[in-house]
C-alpha cells in the first residue's frame, strides 16, 4: 500500500503536478480585459484576464484567467478541447500526454455558472481554482505558457477573444 502511494506521488511529480498545498487566490489583481466565447449561437463562457498592474505585457507575467461557464461541460469535454488546442498549436505529444494526465486529476465536471480559474505566478507555475477554491498546481512554466496560449496567443482559435482579453480591442 505504501509503495503504491509512493508510486502515484512519483508519477504525478514527473508530470509537474504537486500535492495540494493550497495557494491562495491572488487578491490584488486588476482587470486587463474580458470577453464572451460563443460558438454558433451557444454561449460557452465569459472570460476575464487580470494582472497585478492591469496591463498585458506578455504571457509570461503573473496572470489570472477566469472562465465563468454559461453551460454544463464535462471534465472529458474540457480535456478533449484542451488536447485539440494543443495539437493545433504544435505542442509535443509527450507534453500533451503528461499535462492532460495532470489535468485529469485536477479538473471537475463544470456546471452552468461555475468558474475555473488559472493563476500563473511570477515563477511561471500554474495554479487552478474551481469556484475560487484551490484545486492544485502544475509547477512547469512550459505548461503554463501552453495553457494560457490557448486564449492569449496571436494564433489562438478565437483572435477577437484574445484581443479583448489582452486589452487590445474595446469590442
Low-confidence ranges of the chain (pLDDT < 70): 1-21, 170-171
Q: What is the pLDDT of residues 81-113, one digit of tens each?
A: 999 999 999 999 999 999 999 999 999 999 999
pTM of the model: 0.85
Q: Which residues contact 32 (CB under 8 A, 6 or more apart)?
A: 49, 50, 51, 54, 55, 56, 165, 166, 167
Angstrom CA distances, 169 to 14, 66, 141, stand at 39, 19, 27
Q: What are phi and psi of 100, to 5 degrees?
A: -65, -35
CA atoms within 13 Å, Cβ hemisphere of 160: 7
Q: What is the helix (H) or strand (E) element at residue 30, kind and residue range? A: strand 30-39
Domains defined for the chain, CATH in brackets:
2-165 (3.50.70.10)
| pLDDT for the residue 3 | 53
> Sign of the C-alpha dihedral, residues 134, 137, 119, 93?
negative
d(CA 79, CA 85): 10
| pLDDT for the residue 11 | 42
Can you name the residues that pair with 67 across neighbouring β-strands? 47, 116
Angstrom CA distances, 78 to 3, 58, 61, 75, 171, stand at 32, 25, 25, 5, 26
Burial (CB count within 10 angstroms: exposed 0-12, middle 13-18, buried 19+), residue 19: exposed
Chain-wide mean pLDDT for the chain? 89
Closest CA to 109 of 83, 130, 140, 81: 130
Amino acid at each position: 500500500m505504501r509503495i503504491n502511494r509512493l508510486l502515484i506521488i512519483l508519477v504525478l511529480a514527473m508530470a509537474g503536478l504537486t500535492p495540494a498545498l493550497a495557494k491562495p487566490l491572488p487578491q490584488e489583481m486588476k482587470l486587463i480585459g474580458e470577453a464572451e466565447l460563443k460558438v454558433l449561437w451557444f454561449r460557452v463562457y465569459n472570460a476575464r484576464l487580470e494582472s497585478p498592474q492591469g496591463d498585458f505585457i506578455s504571457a509570461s507575467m503573473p496572470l489570472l484567467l477566469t472562465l465563468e461557464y454559461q453551460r454544463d461541460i464535462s471534465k472529458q469535454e474540457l480535456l478533449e478541447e484542451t488536447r485539440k488546442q494543443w495539437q493545433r498549436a504544435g505542442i509535443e505529444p509527450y507534453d500533451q500526454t503528461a499535462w492532460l494526465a495532470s489535468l485529469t486529476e485536477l479538473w471537475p465536471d463544470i456546471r452552468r455558472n461555475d468558474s475555473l480559474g488559472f493563476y500563473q505566478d511570477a515563477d511561471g507555475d500554474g495554479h487552478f481554482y474551481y469556484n475560487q477554491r484551490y484545486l492544485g498546481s502544475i509547477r512547469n512554466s512550459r505548461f503554463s505558457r501552453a495553457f494560457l496560449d490557448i486564449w492569449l496567443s496571436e494564433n489562438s482559435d478565437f483572435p477577437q477573444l484574445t484581443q479583448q482579453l489582452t486589452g487590445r480591442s474595446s469590442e
